[in-house]
């Protein structure tokens, strides 16, 4: 029936090849067909090819063949299609069938080629499953997920992203991603973030002040990674956005509450220091009164002593400035309207500005205050008023601890020292010679409302820790030999922070 060359070609083919006559009976099958269907060649040759088909194709096959022979209509001949085939064991599998008619054959003969596409179906199903799973993850994700093209226009967005941005996908698609930023400054930051991700082949992320499609303000944390085409050309970006508006508002509210609490604590501290401050102010005011009366006497003399009068007026001015400086320090310490700003400051100078107030308080508690400043200390990045509040809290705690412990007035000593650590940090230490911290309080000293004082609020050390955290500094306690308590704070130098 076939030449030797044709038979060799059939046996070399990896697809099944089946030759049938005009009655549908199989005249020849290659080895691949036998393997595909599970038959031997003698079980197939001479049998109708419909035995390899499941119902209803099996019953309809002979009718389709007769219709072709009678009308000449091609049907699947020369076209090919996907069918279901049946093995000897009855199992079904998908196959790609192509049928050709042997030219000039009489009676007509046909050759069919079949390829088992089970693996292709399984691969397609697996890909569909993965795609469906990926799409489900995208829709379940609570973030805004987008694909941008090379012009930064939005080409894909998940359903959650549409909800968060306040517009349906058809309104968002095609819009420029930069339109979501609040102003030109934020748009420039967005351009830089996308450009950096593209240039460095790495993800980039930033928080932006944004607006949704209804014009409402938003705070969104965007993260992006660049895509590239197979030829290396820019292919756009994948972008995710987390709406952190509520978190930003909570943080702003918490910061405002903390600022108000700090201000109240400063005012409370000033109230507690009223006696010492009054004494500190009383000295220049008494001197001003004395010099003013002296001036009256000089002027009442028959021949006024203008030299003495001039000196008295000069002293009045000097004492007035002294009183003004004390009041100015108080005003700075209790101010709280201005937003805090961390700038390079000299911690020793901060301590010196507090010296008159601390000295006045020391006199009230009948305690000797010693201040020792380390040489050549670097500047630290901080807010002077907030750090003064911390120092004031620590020193007053030491004064009150010594008084509460019943130490005799002549023996009470508080030492304030500034120095540089081996690691390059600037440290301020407040040490007293009292009884030290109770053992049961060592783990709770910096917790809110934890206090060893009968009338204490327990907020001073907790607030000090919050302030140090905002400065990226630390606060802690250490053993004081031979007795007493020691609290220290550490701040990074401004050069190190930069």
Instruction: State mean pLDDT over 395-408.
Output: 80
Whole-number pLDDT of residue 337: 47
Q: Which pLDDT tens digit goes with each residue over 411-445? A: 889 999 999 998 889 999 999 888 777 665 555 56
Average per-residue pLDDT for the chain: 81
Tell me, yes or no, whether 101 lies in a domain: yes
Regarding whether 354 and 490 lie in a shared domain, the answer is yes
Residues 141-155: tens digit of each pLDDT? 678 888 999 999 999
Does 335 lie in the same domain as 213?
no
- Which of 117, 149, 170 is the last residue in one of the domains? 117
Section 331-335 average pLDDT = 60
The predicted-structure confidence for 221-238, as pLDDT tens digits, reads as follows: 999 999 988 887 888 999
Residue 245 CB-density burial (10 A; 0-12 exposed, 13-18 middle, 19+ buried):
middle
The answer to whether residue 403 is domain-embedded is yes
Of 106-115, 207-216, 335-344, least confident by mean pLDDT is: 335-344
Instruction: Respond yes or no on whether the N-terminal peptide bond of residue 482 is cis (omega within 30° of 0).
Output: yes
Are residues 289 and 401 located together in one domain of the fold?
A: no
| 250 assigned to some structural domain | no
Which tokens is 453 given? 């004082």
- Kindly state whether residues 315 and 429 are assigned to the same domain: no
Rounded to an integer, what distance in angstroms lies between the CA atom of residue 470 and that of residue 371? 26
- Shared-domain flag, residues 209 and 288: no
Indicate if the pLDDT at residue 450 is higher than 70. no
CATH of the domain at 78: 3.30.450.20
Do residues 84 and 146 both lie within one domain?
A: no
Q: Are residues 347 and 495 in the same domain?
A: yes
Same-domain check for residues 328 and 344: no
488 and 352 share a domain?
A: yes
Residue-level pLDDT at 70: 83
Residues facing residue 415 across a β-bridge: 370, 431
The residue range of the domain holding 331 is 255-339
How far is Cα 427 from Cα 424, in angstroms, rounded to an integer?
9
Contact call for residues 272 and 396 (beta carbons, < 8 A): yes
What per-residue confidence (pLDDT) applies to 85? 94
Task: Please tell me which residue, 75 or 412, carries the higher pLDDT value.
Answer: 412
Q: Which residue do the tokens 């901060």 mark?
A: 350
Please, which pLDDT band fits residue 132 given cuts at 50, 70 and 90? confident
DSSP 106: S
Q: What is the pLDDT at residue 277?
A: 58
Running DSSP on this structure, what letter comes out for residue 68?
Answer: H
With respect to residue 426, please indicate whether it lies within any of the assigned structural domains.
yes
Q: What is the mean pLDDT of residues 3-7?
A: 74
Say if 125 falls within a structural domain: no
Give the strand order in the sheet containing 144-148.
154-157, 144-148, 234-243, 217-228, 204-211
What percent of the chain has a predicted confidence (pLDDT) above 90? 26
Q: Do 351 and 442 sit in the same domain of this protein?
A: yes
Pairing of strands 16-20, 110-116: antiparallel
Q: Give percent of the chain above pLDDT 70.
A: 82
Of the two residues 25 and 259, the one the predictor is more confident about is 25
CA nearest neighbour of 261 among 457, 446, 400: 457
- Is 32 in contact with 16 (CB distance < 8 Å)? yes
d(CA 81, CA 67): 18
Q: Tell me: do 45 and 111 sit in the same domain.
A: yes
- The runs of H, that is alpha helices, within 117-272 are 118-140, 159-165, 169-172, 184-200, 245-272
Q: Is 274 helix (H, G, I), strand (E, B) or coil?
A: helix
* 485 token code pair: 């308590």
CA distances from 236 to 131, 187, 271, 336, 379 (A): 21, 17, 62, 48, 45
Distance CA 37, CA 431 (A): 93
Contacts of 389 (CB under 8 A, 6+ apart): 262, 265, 266, 269, 333, 463, 464, 467
Question: Beta-carbon neighbour count of residue 135 at 10 Å?
Answer: 12
Place of tokens 């194709």: 57
- Is residue 367 domain-shared with residue 463, that is, in the same domain? yes
| Residue 216 DSSP code | -
122 within domain boundaries: no
DSSP state, residue 200: H
Q: What whole-number distance in Å separates Cα of residue 437 and Cα of residue 451?
A: 10
Does the pLDDT of residue 336 top 90, yes or no?
A: no
User: Which residue spans within 309-412 are E strands per DSSP?
Assistant: 343-345, 368-373, 380-382
Which is more confidently placed, 265 or 353?
353
Q: Which two tokens stand for residue 124?
A: 């397609």
Residue 135 located in a structural domain? no
Among 219, 243, 267, the domain boundary falls at: 243
What size, in residues, is the chain?
498
Contacts within 8 Å (CB) and 24+ apart, 199-204: 201/226
Q: How confident is the model at residue 31 (pLDDT cuts 50, 70, 90)?
A: very high
Average pLDDT over every residue of 403-415 = 79
Beta bridge partners of 116: 95
Range with the lowest mean pLDDT among 117-131, 247-261, 310-324? 247-261
Range in 174-178, 225-229, 493-497 the model is least confident about: 493-497
The domain that holds 366 is classified in CATH as 3.30.565.10
Structural Rg of the chain based on CA atoms: 45
| Residue 17, pLDDT score | 92
Give how many domains the chain has, as a whole number.
Answer: 4
State residue 36's pLDDT score.
93
Confidence at 333, pLDDT banded by 50, 70, 90: low
Helix (H) or strand (E) segment spanning residue 431: strand 426-432
Q: Among 216, 243, 270, where does a domain finish?
A: 243
CATH number at residue 276: 1.10.287
Q: How far apart are CA 70 and CA 164, in angstroms?
A: 66
Residue 126 in any domain: the answer is no
pLDDT band at 124 (very low <50, low <70, confident <90, very high): confident
Distances (CA, A) of 162 to 42, 146, 168, 214, 245: 65, 10, 6, 12, 16
């Amino acid at each position: 029936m076939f030449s030797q060359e044709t038979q060799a070609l059939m046996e070399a083919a990896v697809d099944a090849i089946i030759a049938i006559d005009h009655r549908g009976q199989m005249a020849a099958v290659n080895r691949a067909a036998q393997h595909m269907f599970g038959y031997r060649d003698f079980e197939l040759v001479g049998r109708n090819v419909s035995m390899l088909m499941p119902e209803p194709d099996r019953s309809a096959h002979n009718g389709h063949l007769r219709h072709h022979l009678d009308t000449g209509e091609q049907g699947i001949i020369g076209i090919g299609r996907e069918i279901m085939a049946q093995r000897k064991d009855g199992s079904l599998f998908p196959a790609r069938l192509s049928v050709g008619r042997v030219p000039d054959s009489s009676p007509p003969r046909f050759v069919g080629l079949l390829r088992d596409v089970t693996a292709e179906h399984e691969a397609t199903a697996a890909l569909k499953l993965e795609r469906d799973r990926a799409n489900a993850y995208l829709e379940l994700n609570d973030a805004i997920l987008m694909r941008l093209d090379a012009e930064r226009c939005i080409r894909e967005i998940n359903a959650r992203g549409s909800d968060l941005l306040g517009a349906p996908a058809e309104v968002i698609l095609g819009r420029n991603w930069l339109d979501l930023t609040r102003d030109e400054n934020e748009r420039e930051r967005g351009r830089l973030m996308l450009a950096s991700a593209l240039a460095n082949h790495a993800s980039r992320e930033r928080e932006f002040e944004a607006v949704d499609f209804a014009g409402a303000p938003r705070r969104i944390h965007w993260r992006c990674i660049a895509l590239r085409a197979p030829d290396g050309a820019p292919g756009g970006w994948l972008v995710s956005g987390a709406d952190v508006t509520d978190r930003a508002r909570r943080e702003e509210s918490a910061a405002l509450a903390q600022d108000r609490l700090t201000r109240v604590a400063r005012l409370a501290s000033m109230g507690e220091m009223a006696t010492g401050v009054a004494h500190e102010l009383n000295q220049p005011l008494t001197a001003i009164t004395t010099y003013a009366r002296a001036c009256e006497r000089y002027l009442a003399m028959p021949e006024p002593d203008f030299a003495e009068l001039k000196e008295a007026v000069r002293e009045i001015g000097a004492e007035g400035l002294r009183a003004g400086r004390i009041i100015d320090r108080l005003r700075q310490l209790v101010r709280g309207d201005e937003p805090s700003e961390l700038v390079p400051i000299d911690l020793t100078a901060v301590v010196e500005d507090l010296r008159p107030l601390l000295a006045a308080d020391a006199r009230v508690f009948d305690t000797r205050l010693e201040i020792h400043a380390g040489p050549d200390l670097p500047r630290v990045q901080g807010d002077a008023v907030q750090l003064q509040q911390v120092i004031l809290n620590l020193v007053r705690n030491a004064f009150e601890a010594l008084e509460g412990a019943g130490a005799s007035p002549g023996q009470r000593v508080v030492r304030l020292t500034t120095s540089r650590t081996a690691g390059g940090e600037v440290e301020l230490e407040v040490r007293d010679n009292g009884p030290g911290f109770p053992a049961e309080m060592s783990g709770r000293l910096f917790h809110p409302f934890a206090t060893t004082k009968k009338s204490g609020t327990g907020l001073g050390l907790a607030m000090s820790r919050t302030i140090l955290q905002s400065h990226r500094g630390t606060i802690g306690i250490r053993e004081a030999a031979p007795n007493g308590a020691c609290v220290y704070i550490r701040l990074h130098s401004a050069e190190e922070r930069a």
